[in-house]
Amino acid sequence: MPASPLLFTLLSLLSLVQADVVTRFQDVPECMEFFYKGKVPEWGDAASDAAHICQRFTNRYHFATLYDTKHRIAVYSAYRFQPSDGGGREKRWFVEPQLVNPSWQAEMKDGYWLGKDNPGVFLGERQALNEDYTHSGFDRGHLNPNGHHAVPSRNATFTLTNVVPQNRKMNQDAWRIHEEQLTGLFRAQCSEAYVLVGAIPSEDNWIVKNNVKRVNIPDYLWKAYCCVDNNGRPVKSGAATARNTEQNLVEKISLGELGEFFQQFTNQPVGELFYNNCRA
């Protein structure tokens, strides 16, 4: 007997809820919790090569990533700050199975074992792989930093869809210091902190493997945050940009100035990154 329309609809909805890569972040209510008052930025959202990933690990969502499958780097990751309790320094690097085949499992998986489970299948058509970074001269630079989370969310940040090729000096010095400064600010002044952190791709600077352009080396990194009190009212906001070079300098700016910065790279209106620009 063929399935009834109602049963088909229920099965389709169940499949959607379990999916990791979705058409819109709004399709998964749990994924929307990483955006202040459910406001998803318009920045980068209209690109045909963008994949919306609700980052699933240990059968729950930990943050959201808009991923550029053409450049094989994230446009941004969105998360809520958690005080870290240590641990969670992964030796594994995860990949997103559903960027290989939409029917595959709805949870990030160690790229090594996903390859072993699917011999002969190339995993890197729409995402970066661990071997792309090996001997590249660049760090696997977290966008959503592991230090802004408790376990297991801390472990979940070790997915290559949350990573960009980052200048080693910048990653290990100025950008690291900035992340630590934000940790202190979030702990002291925020009941909850909503954060967006992303990258601006370069026009033609890539990690090249076997004469193939594999991973775009971004020109800039950027970060934006919205702090709220116990009643969910904004109390502080800010942003920062940094050139992905030996210059090793993070420039702290306002959300409005970050919007002006973005406008250099698009002919379209940038729009709000946070609901009401994180104003009370």
pLDDT tens digits for 149-159? 999 999 999 99
User: Does a cis peptide bond (omega within 30 degrees of 0) precede residue 165?
Assistant: no
**Coil, strand, or helix at residue 124?**
coil
* pLDDT at residue 18 in the model: 55
- How is residue 222 written in tokens? 């950027």
Which residue range is the domain that position 260 belongs to? 5-278
What domain count does the chain have?
Answer: 1
pLDDT tens digits for 196-253? 999 999 999 999 999 999 999 999 999 999 999 999 999 999 999 999 999 999 999 9
Q: Residue 195 belongs to a domain with what CATH number?
A: 3.40.570.10
CB 75 within 8 A of CB 40: no
* pTM attached to this predicted model: 0.92
* pLDDT at residue 17 in the model: 45
DSSP-derived secondary structure for 12-66: HHHHHHH-SEES-GGG-HHHHTTSGGG----TTTT-TTEEEEEEEETTEEEEEEE
